[in-house]
Amino acid sequence: MSPRLRHRRVAAVAVIAIVVAGACGLPVDERVQPFDDVPFDLTATSTTTTTTLPPPEPAATTTVPPAELITTTTLVRTEATDIFFVLRGSGELQRVTVSLPAPVSRQLLINQLESVPDGTGDTLRTSVASGLLRDFTVDRGVASVELSSAALNRLSSLQQRRAIAQVVLTLSLFTTPEGGIGQVILNADGEPLSVFVPSQGASSEPGEALAYSDFAVLISGTPPTTTTSPPPVTSPTVPDSTAAPTTTADISTTTETSTPRPPDSTTTATSPTATTSTTPPPGTADTE
């Protein structure tokens, strides 16, 4: 390209630039205005401050044990309950105190009567067969017990007596939310039941109320009840107030020898000691 052509292009570009600047409204000032006052912020020396922070503390680590190692403890309130079972061999009844969850329900008590406690099977047994004792209700201290006739008939006569004794003795010591039990009435399928009462040696009337004392003679260690007549009451001997008291004393023996007194003789006193007195014959005088 020739120098003349290059010069024309530069001149054209300059003209275009001037036109564009005028179109945008930018002021065109050919003077150079120097700035003498420079803001102090621009002339200040920049200072860099370095702050050293301590390393962050490690977060607390909580170790969660595996699910199989977590143990939950639940406190269960229990109640000491007396239940009677039959001793093997002797057939006597033995009272056993067991801890049952409180409050003890009627069904739980029935279940305990039907099975001996763990570890006592070698010494204890029960005559209360499963299904024999259906239920019982308590009204003003009297328990009405409902028994199953079919289950009762499957027991021998001796087993029936022991089962009845277990039920009456256990219920007599049991306390329900309605209160304690003082007497027990037995029914079989809704009909009043007559049972053998050991303390009477005879059968009760059907539906007769039974008490703890009626079967207490069957409890192990209870001595048999015997009736002993009291000794006759004798009145103490009262001495007669008019009789002189008798005094026993050691009395010495005194020997006394006397001569028959003449009619006009004078009685000679005798001293307490053993002395022999002699009275001279009449008409004679004492000899020196």
Instruction: Provide φ and ψ at 170, rounded to 5°.
Output: -65, -45
SS3 content of the chain, % helix, strand, coil (to 5): 20, 20, 60
pLDDT value at residue 51: 66
For the chain, what are the domain ranges? 78-218
Angle at 193 between CA 187 and CA 197, to 5 degrees: 120
The residues facing 124 across adjacent strands are: 87
pLDDT value at residue 6: 65
The pLDDT profile of the chain, 288 residues, written as one tens digit per residue, is 666 666 666 666 665 666 555 555 545 555 655 555 555 555 555 566 666 777 777 666 667 667 666 677 778 899 999 999 999 999 999 999 999 999 999 999 999 999 999 999 999 999 999 999 999 999 999 999 999 999 999 999 999 999 999 999 999 999 988 789 999 999 999 999 999 999 999 999 999 999 999 999 999 987 765 444 445 555 555 444 444 444 444 434 444 444 445 445 444 444 444 444 444 444 444 433
The residues facing 137 across adjacent strands are: 144
Which pairing describes strands 183-188 and 142-147: parallel, antiparallel, or unpaired?
A: parallel
Whether the Cβ atoms of residue 173 and residue 182 lie closer than 8 Å to each other: no
38 contacts: CB under 8 Å, gap ≥ 6: none
140 contacts: CB under 8 Å, gap ≥ 6: 179
Angle subtended by helix axes 106-114 and 157-172, to nearest 10: 140
Q: What is the dihedral of CA 8, 14, 15, 20, to 10 degrees?
A: 150
